[in-house]
Amino acid sequence: MTTDDSAPETPDAPAPSPDDRDISPRLRIDAYDASTQPLGPAQRRSLHELTVSVLWPHRDHDLDLFLSLGHGYLATDKIGRALGSAMWFPMGDDFAMLGMMVTVPRLQSLGAGRWLLRNLLRDTQGRDLRLSATRSGYRLYEAAGFLPVGVIRQQQGIVKPFAPPRDLPGMEIRPLVPEDEAALRALDAHAYGAPRTQVLDALLPLSQGVVAVRDGIVCGYALSRPFGRGIVIGPLVAEGDDMALRLAAPLIARNEGRFTRLDTPVIRPAFVDFLRQAGLVDFDTVTEMRIGPHRRAAEGTVIYGLAAHSLG
């Protein structure tokens, strides 16, 4: 697997165009029929049961955030037990992230995930798509036309004392203030490849943040918020490794002794080694995949930390 910084783009695959008539409202799974219903706040408990079944760390407040930002489906059996979920998150008018793709382990080879994915592809026709594929889901997405982009590293652990990086001449790292938000949103839209207005509207009130300022202009930012077992740092948007680790450092340092996580598409040693030194060790990887062009910037201001696997 290669990162988007180090390899030429793979030719785009045409987006699947599932025929609505081919997506049955019911699916025979094992010895019973499954049906779908739209995902909403009323289904949070069932969604939480699914995430627990695959050992995901999501808490109720994490699921509330996703349910407020996305659309999707919950598959249930005839007595209402949750079998699987799938969501999509619009980013502007022509792009979407797919996420919260969960199937209970005993049913992962029986077609439930494929059935739910086809519903999402129907709902998102005409949009470029991106997702983070676990090892168990990779073949499903590949068969649906998704192309691999690169690896997302999940760095996490209990923060330990570390030597903060020295200041860079001409660059100030300071707390985020409301007057920075317009510049932050412009930087994010460039780095992400689409405006994620609703996502930032939801994340900013929940987050603490810092910005990088040069000549009075905001040129990078990072947010941190409660997530899962502790704190997640992301989004993190920076011009390069030096800026990225200086943005991450104060947010990590304030969590000394606490569980902290950062998901990054960057595999260059300078940034990843810094995270390891602070206690955020290698935990897992997923494969980023796409349909349509890879929208995220590869130069200039780029993404160093995801908001979440489901949000990019």
pLDDT at 28: 52
DSSP string for residues in the chain: ---TTTSPPPPPPPPP---GGGS-SEEEETTEEEEEEE--GGGHHHHHHHHHHTT----HHHHHHHHHH-EEEEEE-TT--EEEEEEEEE-SSSEEEEEEEEE-GGGTTTTHHHHHHHHHHHHTTTSEEEEEE-TTTHHHHHHTT-EEEEEEEEEEEE----PPPPPPTTEEEEE--GGGHHHHHHHHHHHHSS--HHHHHHHGGG-EEEEEEETTEEEEEEEEEEETTEEEEEEEEESSHHHHHHHHHHHHHTTTTSEEEEEES---HHHHHHHHHTT-EEEEEEEEEEESS--S-SSSSEEEE-S-TTT-
pLDDT at 107: 64
pLDDT at 52: 92
pLDDT at 284: 96
pLDDT at 110: 66
Report all structural domains of the chain as residue ranges with CATH numbers, in order of start.
20-124 (3.40.630.30), 154-305 (3.40.630.90)
pLDDT at 12: 41
Give percent of the chain above pLDDT 70. Answer: 88
Low-confidence ranges of the chain (pLDDT < 70): 1-32, 107-110
pLDDT at 310: 96
